[in-house]
Each structure stands twice: as C-alpha cells, then as structure tokens.
Amino acid sequence: MNFKESKAIYLQIADRICDEILLGQYAEEARIPSVREYAAVVEVNANTAMRSFDYLQSQGVIYNKRGIGYFVATGARELILSLRRETFLKDELDQVFRQLYTLGVTDEELSGMYREFMKNQNKM
C-alpha cells in the first residue's frame, strides 16, 4: 500500500478497510482478517494495524469477539457513509469553498457544473 505523508498511516489503513466494507468485500457480521494478516497485506508493523482496528472499533465499524477475531458491525456501511459525509461537509467542503471564492467561481458556474455532472452520472 502506498501511503500519503499528509495523513497518519493507521487512518489510511482504517480508510482502506472502510472502502473494502463499502465495496462488499466484508459483509456485515463477517470476519475480517486478523491484525497480523492485515499488517502483512499492507506491509506495516502489527502495532500500526492494531491502532487502525482500535480506531475502527471505537467508531463502531468493527467489533472484537475475544479469541475469534474482528467482525464487521451491523449497520457499518451506513455508519461509514454517515461519518464520511460528516467529515466531507465539515472539513473538506470548507477548503473547496475557499478555493472557489479565491478563484472567483460564481454560484451560477458551480451549479451549472454540478447539474452537468449529475446528468452524466444518471447516464451511467
């Protein structure tokens, strides 16, 4: 896995696991690879992978059955989408708005581009 310097590695691993859940690689109540297995897959120290698992468990995305392993929580998909939406609206959209303002992009231009984007999405 190629990591970006702008974000903690354990959070990037957590994002990858969330992506895998969203893509259906791990269904609700399904077991996910162990910490050691996942660390080997993404080529990191097991402690880093454990930090990712702890983070996801604290968010309610996965849970641990002692002695058996980690499992995807019921409702994890909806929770991930909700958390990502909240993060996008709170953190990332502010940056986008700042750039739009700095570049002088009007709301008419933006809404026209968004309508065009949505029209193209509906064709897929």
Identity at 43, one-letter amino acid code: E
For residue 49, give both structure tokens. 């992978």
Reply yes or no on whether the pLDDT at 123 is more than 80.
Answer: no
Return mean pLDDT, the chain: 94
pLDDT score, position 113? 92
Q: What is the pLDDT of residues 27-47, one digit of tens each?
A: 999 999 999 999 999 999 999
Average of per-residue pLDDT across 74-91: 94
Is residue 82 classed exposed, middle or buried when 0-12, 13-18 and 19+ CB atoms within 10 A define those classes?
exposed
Reply yes or no on whether the pLDDT at 80 is more than 80.
Answer: yes
CA–CA separation, 44 vs 98, rounded Å? 36
Q: What is the pLDDT of residues 85-120, one digit of tens each?
A: 998 998 889 889 999 999 999 999 999 999 999 988
Contact 39, 49 (CB under 8 A): yes
Is residue 31 classed exposed, middle or buried when 0-12, 13-18 and 19+ CB atoms within 10 A define those classes?
middle
pLDDT score, position 124? 63
Contact 31, 43 (CB under 8 A): no
